[in-house]
Structures are given as structure tokens and as C-alpha cells.
Amino acid sequence: MRVSQLFAPTLRETPAEAEVVSHKLMLRAGLIRKAAGGVYSYLPLAWRVLKKIETIVREEMDAKGGQELSMPIIQPAEMWQETGRWSVYGDEMFRLKDRHNRNFCLGPTHEEMITTIVRGDVRSYRQLPLMLYQIQNKYRDEIRPRFGLMRGREFIMKDAYSFDRDEAGLDVNYNKMYDAYTRVFNRCGLTFRAVEADSGAIGGSGSHEFMVIADSGEAGIVYCGDCDYAANVEKAELHPISAPAEERLPLTEKDTPDMKSISEVSHYLEVSPEKTIKTLAFRTDTGAVVLALVRGDHEVNEIKLLNKVGCIQLEMANEEAISNVIGSQAGYIGPVGIESSKDIIIVADTSVMNMHNAVCGANKKDTHYINVNPLRDFTPSTVTDIRLIQANDPCPRCGAPVKTARGIEVGQVFKLFTKYSTSLQATFIDDGGKEKPMVMGCYGIGVSRTMAAAIEQNNDENGIIWPVPIAPFHAIVIPISNKDQAQMALAEKIYNELNEAGFEALFDDRNERPGVKFKDADLIGYPIKITIGPKAIDEDQIEVKARRTGETFYFNHEEYVKGIR
Ligand code: ATP
Ligand code: MG
Ligand code: MG
Ligand code: MG
């Protein structure tokens, strides 16, 4: 490809809207352009990178027996109503109606769809296990789409689903996927860590997140330098490892409710005709009644909040103390009493920030709790003694001081067990003739987020430094002077030879000053830059520069291909 024909519109200035480095560099290097908040076009260079990441993902999925398929993005409401997630998903779900007024959504994930497919066609244990996956756009109307591709509202995900006869089978598939993910992120050239994650409503020990280590990461992680303990902060705090016994929070792990019981006690509270707030209530072993209100959002976060709440002394809460615990995920939390004023608290997502008003008695449209009277039904108070996990706290496994870091969640593996197969009746007949629900797992990789994470981890003041396996092109050949026929001819010859040798090379044939070409090459971040100037012509010394190390090598025309390898 000749750069004169390449559509890679680079920018000299950093667009004001970009906060993190990957977003800035993707705009400046001509990789993406914004259509709307969290919705981007991928320009040709980005598309090449995404295809390479997808190829790596595909190869590793196939190597583990995964079979690729493609499911619709438009999903009918009915299957989501069967699992109850039509209402639980809340505002994060993009919803639409067809001309007959039927409800649909744009798929934020595909558990309902895949389970519906499999239940129709899998009857016998002989048809199991199955591992099915797709790579496709997903749609989530994130409250705060930001950081470019990092938190989009339309983004590319690889989602895989396993179906097994029993939990032993699920373990095998889960471990295969864990291994595949490790291989994928290694092959992409990323520094990452797999951490234990809260498996939320599902219970059990069955989830890991794959975190690319980067200061801009939205997730906190805790890990041990001595043993292999690593967890996200939420999970680590569920097992309070930090505080000495006497400092420990009065509620114990036992007080964290059995997550399965939560759905049984959950009910809905109408906030206004258009806005339903999901209410989850449970009673802890100490008898405290905990009420968490979350506007139908993402299921996992909801449970995370609950878990955390379950781990703190609930008697008293104030907004500041609790938002310290919950971090950025909750905008408002306050205590409310319904039975007895001190035992019940409210957790609300930022999307219901204005509930603050409601709780404080404001009677604004859309923000009023029906049948909840602030002051009559609750009194505010404060949380005492909250101890968050900190660096150097003892590792729960070996006691060595733990370390903390920030991470970008690029993937997650999750044991679903029979959550969806039960609600959607995906059953099979086992070898003893008994009907059983299939045992499922789900496994996601954020493909477009992985591209952004790669840039977060690989850049300098001049631009992107692509890891070779996902670079849009491997090398660029730059003649110093377009007017010099000999330079142009040699540059073109080298460009052709490189492509023949299996490299993806570019030829910067633009009639631009060399400085402009070098700046663009560094900004876009091709791993290898080959400069053809007088030295190449007069002395047969071809200059090869490595983007990552900045090292310069000289090779003659017979050796440079080998030299680059
Ligand atoms: P997050 O905690 O960042 O909101 P999630 O846990 O909701 O992510 P999953 O449902 O586990 O995401 O989806 C699988 C993968 O899809 C994630 O690990 C992440 O890499 C990617 N992903 C999720 N949401 C987004 C988004 N809004 N933009 C880009 N990638 C995303
Ligand atoms: Mg999310
Ligand atoms: Mg997450
Ligand atoms: Mg996740």
C-alpha cells in the first residue's frame, strides 16, 4: 500500500474531548472518528488492528474446540422476559419497537439467544459438550461512555458460551477458556493479570477477569508478589483481608447473603410510570434487613453493591462514607428505614442521582418514591469503621504483603451453572434417561477495548508503539526526497521485496517533507521504519529503525530482510 492512497488522516493537535492516551492517539493517528458518544467508526488502520486481534481470538477459540456462529443483534423481548432480564437490564439496554409495536433490544450480550437456540436443538447428553462463540458488535447504553473505545456504547465483543452435562464438564471448558484467554492476551503482546472476580448472583468461585495493567484502568486489583493470589478489589473486599481481627468489620462473610435468595425477595418499586427501580432486599444473619435500590442496571454490578454492603456494618450510612466504599459505581447511597429505621439502606446508581432529592423529600417529577416517605420511613446516619484493602495488607493466601494496581478489564470468564438453562428450560436427557438442565459458562473478550488497552500500555510522547502481532502494518519505507529518482526507485524495490517476504509494508510516496513522514510514522506506530536517503544510495546502507527501542541498524541490500526478522 502506498501512503499517498492510504486513508489515515492524522491530526497535529490533540482533540480536546479525549482524556486518556489511547483515545487521544487513536483520534490523532487517524484510527477512529466519533459518530456519537461511545459510537465510533473504525478507519482502515484500526480495522486492520481489529481484524488481527480477531484472528488471534478466533485461532485460540478454535484450538479449544470452539465453533463460530453468528447470532442476530436485534433480539426479541420475549426471551429476555423469560429470564427476567428485560426489566433487570434497565437503561443500559438499547430498546426498540418494530412497526407492529413489538419490543426488541440491541444485544448487550447473548445468553438468552444462545440458550434459546441450544434448547431447541440439543436433546441428548450425546450432543454435549458444546462451545459456541461469535465476534460481533454489542450495544450497551452506558451511563458514562468515555475514554474512546474503552467504554463504548457500540463495541466489538467475542462472546462464547459453553454447554455441559455437569459441573465437571463446565470446569473443563472454563479452564480451557482461561487458558485460551491467557494465550490471546500474550499473543497480543499485553501485560495482564487474571484476577478472581466476584461471580455475583451466580455464587461459587467461578469467575476471573483479565486485566491489562494500566494506570488509566477503571478497575482496582490486588495481587500477591509471593503466591498467585490476585483478585479485583471488590472480590478481595468480600474476604476482608486487610484489617486485624479487632479492627474487622462487625459483619462477617456469613452475613453476605446467599445470592440465590436475593432474587426470591426482590421486588419492584415504582418510581414513576416510566422508571422502575429494582429493589433487592435480604435479611442477614444478624437480622439486619438490607434493601438495595438499583435502577434495573447491569446485574453484576447490582450484586457487587450488595455484596459490599453485606460486608460493611449497615446500621449507619452516610453518603460520603458509602460512596468511598462503592467508589465510582454508585452515586448515591443513603439509609432508609422501612421496618426499623436503622437497618435498611438504599443503594442507587449514578443514573438515579436525582433520587437523592427524592430521598430527601423533594417531590420532583420522576424522582419520587411511591409509598416511601423520607423522614417518616428513614433517618440518615453514618457508617463507622470501614477499612478498604490497601497495598501491603497481608495476602489472604500466604500472608505476604499484597500489591495494588489499576487494570482495564479486557475479558471475563464466568461459570453460569444452570441460571439460564433453568429459566429458559434448556434441558437434556442424561445417560440414565433423566432430564437435566445444561450446565453453562460464558466468556467475553472486549476486542475493541483490547485495541485501546494495547495503546494505553504501548506509547510514548511521539505516539503509538504497536506490539508487532497486532500492528496495522509491520514496516514503512520512507524515501527522504521524492525528487530523487534513485531513492524513490530503491524505496519502491524494498517495499516490494518486504511484501514478498511476508511483511506488511507501506511505501510513503507522499510529496511531503521527511519530517512530516517521520512524525506520522511514529504517531501511527509502525514497528519498523526504513529510511532511504543518500546513505542507502551511495553506501548501500539501509537505515532500519525500531519504533519501540529507537535503535537504528544499517544493513546492505542483501541482508536487510534478514536483519528485520
Ligand atoms: P465493565 O465492568 O468494564 O463495564 P463488563 O463486566 O460489564 O465490563 P462483560 O459483560 O464482562 O463486561 O463483557 C465482556 C467484555 O466486553 C469485558 O470484559 C470488556 O472487555 C468488554 N466490554 C464491556 N463493556 C464494554 C464497553 N462499554 N465498551 C467496550 N468494551 C466493553
Ligand atoms: Mg459493564
Ligand atoms: Mg466488569
Ligand atoms: Mg465483566
Q: In this structure, which residue's CA is closest to atom 22 in ligand 1?
A: 446
Paired sense of beta strands 207-213 and 192-196, if any: antiparallel
Supply the pLDDT for residue 199: 63
| CA–centroid distance, residue 415 to ligand 4 (Å) | 12
**C-alpha cell belonging to residue 23:** 483515545
Instruction: Quote the pTM value.
Output: 0.79
What b/e readout covers 7-36, taking b as 16+ CB neighbours within 10 angstroms? ebebeeeeeeebebbbbbbbbbbbbbeeee
Q: Give the pLDDT confidence of 496-522 residue by residue, as tens digits.
A: 999 999 999 999 999 999 999 999 999
Residues 6 or more apart from 320 whose CB is under 8 A from it? none
Q: What is the pLDDT at residue 90?
A: 80
Which ligand 1 atom is the nearest neighbour of the CA of 153? 27
Q: Which one, of 223, 221, 195, 219, lies nearest residue 209 by Cα?
A: 195
Beta bridge partners of 460: 463
* Cα–Cα dist 76/223, whole Å: 42
pLDDT digit string, tens, across residues 375-397: 333 332 222 223 456 788 888 78
Reading the block at residue 476, the C-alpha cell is 514503512
Would the pLDDT of 182 be above 70? yes
Assess whether pLDDT exceeds 70 at residue 183.
Answer: yes
Ligand nearest to the CA of 212: 1
Task: Tell me which of 22-36, 112-126, 194-208, 336-350 is least confident.
Answer: 336-350
pLDDT reported for residue 205: 59
- The string of pLDDT tens digits covering residues 92-104 is 899 999 999 999 9
Nearest CA, atom 16, ligand 1: 446
Please give the residue that has the higher pLDDT: either 13 or 75.
75
Q: What does the pLDDT look like over 3-46, one tens digit per residue?
A: 999 999 999 998 888 989 999 999 999 999 999 999 999 999 99
pLDDT grade, residue 312 (50/70/90)?
very low
Task: Mark out the alpha helices in 247-312 (DSSP H runs).
Answer: 259-265, 299-311
The closest of 293, 300, 304, 365 to 336, measured between CA atoms, is 293
Instruction: Report the DSSP beta bridge partners of residue 406.
Output: 220
- What is the rounded distance in angstroms from the CA atom of residue 327 to the CA atom of residue 83? 29
Mean pLDDT confidence for 285-302 = 35
State the distance from the centre of ligand 1 to the C-alpha of 348, rounded, in angstroms. 21
Give the 3-state secondary structure of residue 211: strand
Mean pLDDT score, 487-504: 97
Query: From the CA of 509, how far away is ligand 1's center (Å)?
Result: 40
Give the Cα separation of 82 and 88 in Å (integer).
12
Q: Which helix (H) or strand (E) holds 420?
A: helix 419-423
Q: Whose CA is nearest to atom 14 of ligand 1?
A: 444
Q: Tell me the β-bridge partners of 505.
A: 475
Cα–ligand 4 centroid distance for 222 (angstroms):
17
**Cα–ligand 3 centroid distance for 531 (angstroms):** 44
Share of the chain above pLDDT 70, in %: 72
- 331-374 pLDDT, tens digit per residue, is 233 332 222 222 233 333 222 222 333 334 323 333 233 333 33
Nearest C-alpha to atom 4 of ligand 1 is from which residue?
A: 151
Question: Above 50 in pLDDT, residue 535?
Answer: yes
pLDDT at 123: 96
Q: Give me the pLDDT at residue 340, please.
A: 24
| 120 pLDDT higher than 90 | yes
Does residue 298 have a pLDDT over 70? no
| pLDDT tens sequence across 272-281 | 333 333 344 3
CB-based contacts of 246: which residues, under 8 Å, 6+ apart? none
How many CB atoms lie under 10 A from the CB of residue 224?
A: 19
pLDDT (average), residues 285-299: 36
| Ligand 1 atom index nearest CA of 452 | 29
Question: Which residue's CA is the closest to the ligand 1 atom numbered 27?
Answer: 151
Residue 476 has pLDDT above 80, yes or no: yes
Measured from CB, residues less than 6 Å from any atom of ligand 1 are 109, 140, 142, 151-152, 155, 157, 298, 409-412, 444, 446, 448-449
CA distances from 115 to 61, 416, 418 (A): 19, 12, 11
The residue nearest atom 21 of ligand 1, judged by CA position, is 446
Q: 324 or 2: whose pLDDT is higher?
A: 2
The larger pLDDT score, comparing residue 274 to residue 218, is at 218
Instruction: Encode pLDDT of 223-251 as tens digits.
Output: 998 999 999 876 775 444 333 333 333 33
Mean pLDDT of the residues in the chain: 78
CA angle, residues 156, 527, 188, in degrees to nearest 5: 35
Reduced to 3 DSSP states, what percent helix, strand and coil does the chain have, rounded to the nearest 5?
35, 30, 40
Task: Give nearest CA residue, ligand 1 atom 19.
Answer: 446
The predicted model gives 308-315 an average pLDDT of 28
**CA of 109, nearest ligand number:** 1
Q: How far is the CA of 354 from the centre of ligand 1 (A)?
A: 26
Within a 10 A sphere around the Cβ of 501, how many other Cβ atoms?
13
Angular region, 463: left φ>0, alpha ψ -120 to 50, beta rest: left
Question: Residue 439 in contact with residue 163, Cβ under 8 Å?
Answer: yes
Work out whether strand 32-36 and strand 39-42 pair parallel, antiparallel, or are unpaired.
antiparallel
Long-range contacts of 534-540 (CB under 8 A, 24+ apart): 534/480, 536/487, 536/490, 537/484, 537/486, 537/487, 537/490
Calculate how far, in angstroms, residue 555's C-alpha sits from the geometric centre of ligand 1.
45
The stretch 250-266 carries a mean pLDDT of 32
